[in-house]
Amino acid sequence: MKLLSPNQLKVGMRLVHDVFSGESVLLPQDTVITSRLISALRLLDSKRKIAVYSEEPCAIRKSSRGYELEMLELWHGHLTLHGDTFIESFVQSEASLFCVGNLEVGGDVYSLANIACTGNLIVRGCVNGAVVTAGNRLTVQKAGGACGLPTALVCVDYAGLERKRQAEKVTDEMHHLDENIMRLGATLSSLTVQQKSGTSMTPAEKSKVKKIFETYAFMCKKRNHLMDLSQKSKNNVKSVSIIVNDQIHNNVIVRLNHNERSLEPSKGKLVIKEQEGVICID
């Protein structure tokens, strides 16, 4: 796929997406370019970038600010990039990207596309029939479309949820340790009673008592360490948010961590946050 100005178009090329004039479709998707259409597009807007099919996906460039792509294409496959990523125009239908860092899309995200990042995600166009996921804050211009394709806006604190899962594992391990500590404690208690009664122990019994005591002390120390880890991980899932700047159409849902909610069609800016496990809209 290529992004070309009207002056770069050639007869026989085919449009990837509809070309609009205001809110109206000027040329539908898959239109074959003719010399007459090239002349009309030059008169309409000579600087406009138009997506046409080509035999190779656009290149992924590495710059000082991160990764740069003219557009994200289906031909890129399931793409994973470790670093901030900037998509200059749009995300093609069914394209897929996971970015470790921040992600910015200069245009629309089309149907069945799935893009996600671990940081902030900005879509300066419309998300229509796609799933977009941010790890901190998600900002889009518009969500959904007139056709009512299912659209999902998601914000998940990946790191926080992972810490929460680790804390749950620590809690399970502490429970198992507590059971063993109680059993060893009971054994030591009975041996202490035996000593106080004046009953002598054989060398083998004394060695066994010493080993039990060392194991008991080690388990208590390990439990204290797990307790510290549990306290550090507790309540560590941060608040995330979604911002829609302009308009929401039908069939749009938002998800913040584990909570999900459908949105009603509306115009104007919406700020969607999670407060005490409930999704709130301002």
Does 38 lie in the same domain as 129?
Answer: no
Does 121 lie in the same domain as 86?
Answer: yes
Query: DSSP character for 159?
Result: H
On whether the CB atoms of residues 172 and 165 are closer than 8 A, the answer is: no
Q: How far apart are the first and last CA of the chain?
A: 40
Nearest Cα residue to 17 out of 7, 2, 38, 35: 2
Does 77 lie in the same domain as 47?
Answer: no
**Residue 194: band (very low, low, confident or very high) from pLDDT cuts 50, 70, 90:** low
Among 86-95, 143-152, 166-175, 214-223, the range scoring the smallest mean pLDDT is: 166-175
Give CA–CA dist 150/10, Å, rounded.
36
pLDDT at 235 over 60: no
Residue that is last in its domain, among 14, 31, 52: 52
pLDDT at 185 over 60: yes
Does 224 lie in the same domain as 113?
Answer: no
Domain range spanning residue 168?
161-233
Does 177 lie in the same domain as 254?
Answer: no
CATH number at residue 38: 3.90.105
Q: Which residues, in sequence order, are bridge partners of residue 115?
A: 97, 132
Cα Rg of the chain (Å, integer) = 30
**pLDDT score at 233:** 58
Does 71 lie in the same domain as 16?
Answer: no
Give CA–CA dist 11/28, Å, rounded.
16
Please indicate whether residue 25 or residue 148 has the higher confidence score (pLDDT): 148
CATH number at residue 246: 2.160.20.70
Does 149 lie in the same domain as 65?
Answer: yes
Q: What is the mean pLDDT of residues 95-111?
A: 94
Total count of domains within the chain:
3
pLDDT at 168 over 80: no
Does 167 lie in the same domain as 136?
Answer: no
Does 64 lie in the same domain as 151?
Answer: yes
Does 167 lie in the same domain as 147?
Answer: no
Does 106 lie in the same domain as 32?
Answer: no
The identity of residue 212, as a single letter, is: I
**pLDDT score at 232:** 62
Q: Are strands 50-52 and 2-4 parallel, antiparallel or unpaired?
A: antiparallel
Does 198 lie in the same domain as 181?
Answer: yes
**pLDDT score at 236:** 55
pLDDT at 14 over 70: yes
The mean predicted confidence, pLDDT, of the chain is 83
